[in-house]
Structure formats: C-alpha cells, structure tokens
A and B are shown apart, each in its own frame.
Chain A
C-alpha cells in the first residue's frame, strides 16, 4: 500500500517553518546560509536548523535542506563542514542539483536522503534511472511534464517523485536560464535570480505592443486526486520568500483537499471553496500549465506586470482567553466594527463572525484597527487556537 502523499511547504525562516507545519505541511524545505537557490530569503543559521528539526520531529514531520546551487570552484571548499553541521542538526534530506554532491553526500553521510532538485529539469525515465543508480531517494521532476509523463516515470522506475503543485513558474527550463547573469550580473543558478522573465521588452515585430514572457502561476488544486492516483510521493508548494499568511492559507487549503481525497469526502463544493481561498492570496492569475496541456499563449502575460495585492489578512492570533472569550491579536491590515471576518486555525477549523467591538491592549474600545503590528483584543465566543489567522470573509 502506498504511503499517504506528502504535502511539502517552503519555509524562509523559523517563523514560517512553524506556521507551515502547524497548518498541515508534512515536511518543509529550507535554505541554509550558503548553497541555496534563494539567496534573498532570510535562510537558516545552524542553530535555527537545529531548532527547526526539533520542532518538526516532535510533530512527526520532516525538514529538507536545499543545497541546490550549481557549484563553482570556489564553492567546493568548506562543503563537508557545512553538510556535517546540517546532518548533526537533524536534517532529513538534502535537495541537490549538482551531481557531484549526490555521491559526496552518499559517501560521507549515507543515512541522509538525497533529493534531486527541479533545477536539474528531469524530464524522462532514463534520467531518473541515472539518479536511481546514484542512490538518490527522490526526484523533483521538471515543471514541463504532463500527468502521463510523470505517471510513466513512476510506473517504470518506482522512484519517489515530487511534483510542484502551486506557486510561481519559471518561463525557462530550470537550470537553463542565465538571463539574470547577463542582464543584472546576478547568478541565477546560485540563488540570485532577478526574474528577468518578468521584465518588459521591445520587439521588432512591426507592432508597438511590448513583448513579455512572464508566466501565470501554477495551481493544481483540482489535480490532487490525479496526483494521488498516479502515485506521486510529494506535493511541493513554491515560495520560500512568501509570507506567514500566504503559507498558512495555501497549506491549509491543500491539506483539506488531500485529506478529503483520502477520506472519500472530496466534493465539488469543497474544491470550489478552496479555489476561492487560494485565489484570494494569489498575486497573479493561475494555470495548470504542463500537467494538463502543452503550455500555450493562455498561460502567459503579454501586457506587462499584472500582479495583484490584497488586504485580506487582518490579524494574527496571539492568544485566547477561554474564560472571558477574548482573543488577542496582532493587527496586519485595516478593519473596523461590522466587518465580516473569519478566523482559520492550524487544525483546519474556520469560524465566521462579524466584528462587534475592537479593544486595545488595555481593553479600551477603539474605533478602528489601523496600525499594523498593534496588539488588539476582540470578543469571540468560540475557542480560537493560538497562531490562527483572521481574514476578510471569503465569499
């Protein structure tokens, strides 16, 4: 019998890691201070990696560390100590792209799993077999693959396959783009991608309209039953630089969909509701891209940036006084009495209500909440879990 599919979340720092795990991720992937493809994320010190592993393992969950840069000569020195510290801190797996590091880890740290990053753009059965012989435990397939192609790989190799299901997409094959190097002198294959694929260009097309190549984001919420059916091992969310609120929302939605699949309770209504929730935290339009079709003109943007932002996230729950039914929150976005809101909790529970009065920290009533990070209090009859989040009601 197959293991239950894993929900894998990004975590840019310790706070985000805890949120991701509390809201239902089975594992998280993080970057250390070096060798990671998200150099702009805060990333983890060794002490933080240790704390992260202890936190995750206490919950029966896992932590994977990215070591997925394309190495240059200067990166080689010091790699042993770097990996050793992470292993000692309790890391469950390294996510790598440069093949030499696979054999290096297998030789020096044989108990730690090795996962091949999507940076390697693995697109076929033979490549997976190559990695299998190298002792790799899991391959993250290229985002250019269809359901059928992924299924063929699983069926013919038996390898654990991890698939991206949500978040931003690269326009180009991962590892096969150095636009950032050439246009901004930042090394895309060593974590400094400056997202040149979202720039706007002139083109000699005889038309004054600008050329862009930016893609819509990925959203495979509706394809989760397919993923389970074909035997995907892990579902990966993109975005180590995403906010706490984004992670909580996305993880919570996918958790609900996955659990409903296994419980036989997945309905169209549930899917639609979760899609609405996911749409509210998206800052771009989404598509299913290659998983369902050969990506085409509908999967791109052509008129420059069309990025959205919203102020749905109203507050972070710090505490709940069950005796007096008072929830203590840290404000994030403006709200006032009579606002219809919902609080969604790490357990998946959601409560909906209309805000009556708003109080400051000393329980003095105030007219509105308009200072981010301000500590406020609300009366809420139902129990509210710590680390819950309050948002505008999703209609």
Chain B
C-alpha cells in the first residue's frame, strides 16, 4: 500500500520525493488527458530515479496507432511501473505485439465493478484505477472480490467529463475573443467547475477538492493498494498540508484511536472542506417505476 502523487508539474517530482513519496503518475505527451506530461526522453531520464506510472489515457485515433505502438515499445524498455490506458486499442497493441509492459485499466468513470476487473485481470491487466463515482463500500467489495490491484483517488479535483470538442475555443470565437492559455472557471448556482482545453479537447473538473480523509482510514485498514493524490490545480500550501497529514495517518494508523481520527478528519474538513465525493453517496439510476428505483 502506498501513496501516489499526480504532480501539478513534472518539475515537482523531486519536491515530493524529498517528502518520502517515490511513485508518481505523469502523462506521455500527446497521449494523456488531464495529466502533467513529459516527452519519452524526459520519462527515460525521470524513470532512473522515480517510480513512474505513465498515463496514455486519451482516446486513440487510427492515425496515431503506429506511433502509439512505437511509444509503448520504447516505454517497455524503461524501468517504469506501468502504463495507464483508457483506449482498448492500447491493450490490443500490447497483447498482439507481446510488448512486455504492465498495464493499468484507467477508463476513468467506467471502472466500477469487480467482474470487469476480473475480466481485465484475466487479460493480463494487473491493476485498475477505480472510478471516482463509486462508493467506498463498492471499492472495498471490488478489492475483496477481484484479484486486481486497485488504485483510489483520495485527494484532488475530480475530472467529470472530456470532449473532443474545443469547447473553450469555440465559445471564445462565438464572442469574438481569443482563448487564453489558462484554466477557466464555470459557475452555476453556488457551484464552480474548472474548464481546461488542450489540443485533444476540453475537460471539466469539479471545483471542489475530494476530501478522502475519512475513507482513508478504511482504505488503509483494508489494504487498498494505491492511494492517489492529484495535486493539479491545488494550492501548493494546502496540498502539502494534506500530504503531511496523510503521511502521518499511514505511519500511525495502528495507534490512531477513534478520538484522534475524528480530530484529524475535522482538521482536514476545516482545511479543504468536507466534500467526500461519492465515497458515501450513491447515484440514482434505476428505471422509472422499478421496485429498485432509488
């Protein structure tokens, strides 16, 4: 069980390494959605010191396949932990070409049940990054009923959606302005969301930080394999305080009693708010009139 950091920028790896974090997610340039990216050359260098998972989580198009295959073969030569994939074309390329690389199933919102985890495990995928939209109970059930290693995001601004469309550019054109190279903020009622755009399209993130402190205790006690902190867009000072607290929890989990636990949770609520995302909240979905309708 260990913490994994998604840094705001690749240059921050050393800072976190100094704090005792040795495993990171970064994206391969041109092939990652909502990750800080590095070129293959940079990854080659970084992988000598840091333990890296490389994200290639974009939807792949035909014209990219040859290059994707080449990049996978190059990555396989490096001492990286694995490649996070969204597109099943990557899984097919790895299997068809017998590329010796570990894959992490990272279909963002679709990693939601133990049967599909087992399905991928049998295909040779040994790790799954669970969806942010399932409950803690569901996560623990997946951990219990599948052989796959699991990753859970416990801190960060969760991504909600991704489009191939250049939503910001299009909007700016419609009002006769130039798009700036920054994250924009959308608001609706009392809520805020972040809108980012790259050459691969636009992503929307929730404008609230996931506060995974409360579930963290259960995740650690149930031996969840990887606990992910996403520092992108996060105020550096706040991110550090959260990381320090989480490192303290991991180190002292055996001695932290229920009073200490509540105290820590309250401190974190005060710092980053009490948004526990879907850890304790189920979504509505059943068919109208069905006996199971929620």
Contact = CB atoms under 8 A, between A and B. Distances in A.
Interface string A185-199: 111011110000001
Contact of A76 (B96, B108, B115, B284): B115
B87 A127 contact: yes
Contacts of A123: 59-62, 87, 89
Contacts of B162: 172-173, 176-177
B107 to A, nearest CB: 7
Contact of B87 (A103, A124, A149, A200): A124
Interface stretch (B11-19, B180-188, B219-227, B248-256): B180-188
A171 B285 contact: no
Interface in B268-290: 278, 281, 283-288, 290
Interface stretch (A83-91, A292-300, A326-334): A292-300
A75 B286 CA distance: 10
If over half of B's interface residues share one DSSP class (helix, strand or loop), that class is named, otherwise mixed; here it is mixed
Contacts of A120: 88
User: Among A98, A201, A209, which residue has the most Cβ atoms of chain B within 10 A?
Assistant: A201
Contacts of B211: none
Nearest to B169: A297
A295 B102 CA distance: 35
Interface in A195-241: 199-207, 209, 211-213, 215
B175 A149 contact: no
A297 B170 contact: yes
Interface stretch (A66-74, A266-274, A354-362): A66-74
Interface string B157-172: 0101111111101111
B110 interface: yes
Contacts of B116: 71, 98-100
Q: Specify which of A72, A204, A290 lies most central, judged by the most chain B CB atoms within 10 Å of its CB.
A: A72
B96 to A, nearest CB: 8
B177 A205 contact: yes
Given A177-B160, A179-B161, A203 B89 contact: no
Interface residues on A, range: 35 or more
A207 B133 contact: no
B193 A201 contact: yes
B228 to A, nearest CB: 17
B59 A71 contact: no
Contacts of A103: 119
A118 B149 CA distance: 28
A145 B60 CA distance: 11
A215 B170 CA distance: 11
A317 B12 CA distance: 71
Say which size band chain B's interface belongs to: 35 or more
A72 B113 contact: yes
B59 A178 contact: no
Interface string A99-142: 11001100000000000000011111111011101000000001
A203 B171 contact: yes
| Among B88, B145, B204, residue most surrounded by chain A Cβ atoms (within 10 Å) | B88
Contact of B284 (A100, A145, A187): A187
Interface string B5-24: 00000000000000000000
Interface stretch (B44-52, B134-142, B231-239, B258-266): B134-142
B73 interface: no
Given A172-B162, A295-B165, A39 B92 contact: no
Nearest 9 Cβ contacts at the A-B interface: A126-B89, A190-B285, A187-B283, A297-B170, A177-B161, A187-B285, A100-B119, A130-B92, A127-B89
26 contacts: A70-B110, A72-B112, A72-B113, A72-B138, A99-B88, A121-B59, A124-B61, A124-B89, A126-B65, A126-B88, A173-B162, A176-B108, A177-B161, A181-B160, A182-B158, A186-B285, A187-B133, A189-B110, A191-B285, A191-B287, A203-B171, A204-B184, A207-B175, A207-B177, A211-B195, A302-B171
Interface of A: 31, 33-34, 36, 39-40, 42-43, 69-76, 97-100, 103-104, 120-127, 129-131, 133, 142, 144-145, 149, 152-153, 171-173, 175-179, 181-183, 185-187, 189-192, 199-207, 209, 211-213, 215, 290, 295-297, 299-300, 302
Interface of B: 59-62, 64-65, 87-93, 96, 107-110, 112-116, 118-120, 133-134, 138, 141-142, 145, 158, 160-167, 169-175, 177, 184-188, 191, 193, 195, 202, 204, 206, 278, 281, 283-288, 290
